[in-house]
Structure 1
């Protein structure tokens, strides 16, 4: 059996180009995602996702439906959904920092003015007038009659109110007004621009931002993942070549590069079924150069579950997730799925997790199709 090794590429030795879907390049990897091609010092071509051209709404759809309910926390996802329809800002707050965006930032990122009506921004509807006066620049000093949605809200509840004074004055005269929420009226006739400077407010200042779906922030699901406040990119620069693809007849693999951020990324497979890909160095130079991880395996997450999650959500899915790696940071996990010995191919998938203030589930929300590989394909490992 040939023994595998890894090679770490110098970041400055790579050059980048873009390539079309299902590229015929010698990299022998395929995906439905936009990709970019890199080449190392010895001319090996490697295909990677082009995160500058991938947004949450453009990612492949999830293949299985599911739901969870634990300690007052409940979520649901449906087969055929893109990630923007089941991930909240809180799920990706550490990985991508979406809460640092304002609507103006988002509009600039997607090069499109935000003309959404206020009903398409349900997070705004949950804010009360006192909060809006505090966080929207100069809103409190603005004459209430010049803010049509707010004027209508106040008139609908307190018809005798004089709207020809500043919002701050009204709120100080009648504190009950400050408790009114925008979603108490029909917001479909008003746009973002109808509340002056609303687009300048950082999302993190809006109460409840953590529980808001990505799709419910106007324009956010169209922002490239590499353009978030904390851009999604490769974590590390280690690549390997798939030397062999092994099926379910394989047993007990001790030296692995797969696992979880809880159990570590060298979790042995001690079961009776340990399908995996065996990895070698990119140059396929034989045994003359021996690497630290020589002969290690990336185990199939379809057949091996490992410990995952933390805090109050750790027990979801029995505290288990498919074994794999985090080569692109903590937004999602990359998992080897079903190695096929007959045609020497293997498919990979992404798995997501849910988070709240007290914990995170294991990475088990998936699979979302990612890359397909053949023997001798380069594969990105991350750190």
Structure 2
């Protein structure tokens, strides 16, 4: 499935989401060049020396590509959509963003002063065009990231001073007033964008205390590229707020590469490879190139299957559908920041190489989750037979109980060639077979990289935008209510797009499950119509009606985020229209403002006829009608702020 070894288009259930363009020389099963990474000895195994390895240590990517669901430019302006573009030779730090490591390395907890303390850069001399978070801000969000700015006179904050001069002229404001006083007088000035300044003319010291603000305090921080933080790519992994997982002390964490096997192997049920979705003991049926391990009883005879030859399910949330939900089989011995995969295997030479794969994540509201680990391969480490290899914590179970991994196209091809050689009247030795396989790939696999073909599905020329909801829009309103903000407000209570509720029945004996970010019941006519329109939807409804268990992935397949958002928009417009015509008992007037938001949420919760401000609760007893409305109204304000709506 190598994104960097083939000229292919990636698809999500038939929907184009990324295009890669490789150099002509990178075809077939050409082996990766191996970098020399600093290592330390641990329990007889080589362990990466995280005190010396940085994100900038890794070589450039081996092809060009783009991951662009809605064909939007990368940072103009940032949206909640994952948008990535890269060229051959670009370093991973040019592609990866802070948000891709939200849960793993927690880079958002760094300040520029923290980074400077590690790398030695003169933090005060950094120009603002090099410190990417500033370019994403307006004056209001900048003061939210650096609250002390409000206390400084405008004359002492050159970028804000010049932004006001540019828009108001010399006499349009009092430079001796504080930033806070000026914004209190004219809140609309908070909308002025920092990107409208020549940021290369200013230094970080021109924004007092900017160097001690956590990156995560800035609006849209998750979209900031690693390269967009000066010298962050030179910070050793060991210095990250949450470093890679340290050496596991159990005997099974280190093993011996006993034998390296090629793709002719089959029926490997005792494995230590897989994914954080399927577990790390996924069995392999055919094309099972792997290294067999020796060592403690819990790993003796088990195999670490090559991700160049086998794929497994990966990812979480909406973005789990990227790459058709697949990633190379492997392990996460150092945590969730990246995946380690056995890649090239040479049975004649008795060697195996490891590669790294990264993923893209989009946390926040809405939480889209993370893609499978598909950004790679990036050369990591190499091993020889009888050499030790670090494995991380290994599950002691025997494995083989789940679904088999999926063979890649190169696994199928190499296995077929090996079988043909064995049937030949003058069969060659296995070494000769593997040698010929290696040579033959340049012609037989010239358009197919290892592991890619199983991701390819017939395209209908649509994009990920046909399953993801549209970018939040402050201008999409009904009765003064911003629909996308209301949607986020309710989803913060109800769940994510892949949420599935318990099987329940109402007083009219309608039975089903609540689905998605707004927990629409599966027995609703409009929900059923949406599901029935999909191939296989009728059968899926039968499962729901019978109370059969279903997964979040199945729910999104038949009731996609886009379906959910379209239904919400229709539903919300109807509720807002009805609520605005009702009389608020606290004022004697029609519902408006926050009370309108509360009433709309109440009707979403209890139905259009639910009594106003009722203390009745649902079957779970967590919210009353009244408290649900109040909570939703509070969430709405937060959503408006996060969306930048005024």
TM range (shorter): 0.7 to 0.9
Question: Which residue of structure 2 lines up, in the alignment, with residue 338 of structure 1?
Answer: 344
By percentage of residues, which structure has more helix?
2
In 1, the alpha carbon distance for the partners of 2:86 and 2:120 equals: 30
Listed as ranges, the gaps of 5+ residues in structure 1 are 1-29, 282-289
Deviations 1:231-267 (A, max 9, x none): 1233624100000011122112111010000011011
8 Å contact kept, 1:68–1:316: no
In 1, the alpha carbon distance for the partners of 2:122 and 2:188 equals: 35
Change (3 A) 1:241 1:64: farther
What CA RMSD, in Å, does the superposition of the two structures yield over aligned residues?
1.6
Question: Which residue of structure 1 lines up, in the alignment, with residue 193 of structure 2?
Answer: 181
TM-score of the two chains, using structure 1 as the length reference:
0.85
**1:207 counterpart = 2:207:** no
8 Å contact kept, 2:38–2:49: yes
Question: Which residue of structure 1 lines up, in the alignment, with residue 385 of structure 2?
Answer: 375
8 Å contact kept, 2:152–2:179: yes
SS in 2 for 1:314: helix
In 1, the alpha carbon distance for the partners of 2:36 and 2:87 equals: 20
Bigger-Rg structure (1/2): 2
Query: More displaced, 60-69 or 290-299?
Result: 60-69
Aligned with residue 305 of structure 1, among 295, 301, 311: 311
Which one has more relative contact order, counting CA pairs under 8 Å at least 6 apart? 1
In 1, the alpha carbon distance for the partners of 2:64 and 2:255 equals: 33
Question: Which residue of structure 1 lines up, in the alignment, with residue 52 of structure 2?
Answer: 53
Change (3 A) 1:234 1:62: farther
- Structure 1 moving runs of 4+ over 4 Å: none
Listed as ranges, the gaps of 5+ residues in structure 2 are 1-33, 71-80, 394-646
**1:163 counterpart = 2:175:** yes
Aligned with residue 34 of structure 1, among 20, 33, 38: 38
Deviations 1:290-314 (A, max 9, x none): 6023210011100000111111111
**1:148 counterpart = 2:158:** yes
Question: Which residue of structure 2 lines up, in the alignment, with residue 234 of structure 1?
Answer: 246
In 1, the alpha carbon distance for the partners of 2:235 and 2:322 equals: 30
Superposed displacement of residue 147, structure 1 = 1.3
In 1, the alpha carbon distance for the partners of 2:313 and 2:188 equals: 50
**1:78 counterpart = 2:80:** no
TM-score of the two chains, using structure 2 as the length reference:
0.51
Change (3 A) 1:209 1:362: same
8 Å contact kept, 1:258–1:299: yes
Deviations 1:126-168 (A, max 9, x none): 2121222333253111111111111111100011222122111
Aligned with residue 278 of structure 2, among 263, 268, 292: 263
Change (3 A) 1:254 1:179: same
Aligned with residue 190 of structure 1, among 202, 205, 208: 202
Question: Which residue of structure 1 lines up, in the alignment, with residue 288 of structure 2?
Answer: 274
Total equivalences in the alignment: 340
In 1, the alpha carbon distance for the partners of 2:86 and 2:117 equals: 30
By percentage of residues, which structure has more strand?
1
Deviations 1:12-65 (A, max 9, x none): xxxxxxxxxxxxxxxxxx851122233x4xxx4x32211111111122333343
Deviations 1:276-326 (A, max 9, x none): 100001xxxxxxxx6023210011100000111111111111111000000
In 2, the alpha carbon distance for the partners of 1:276 and 1:64 equals: 26
Question: Which residue of structure 2 lines up, in the alignment, with residue 26 of structure 1?
Answer: none
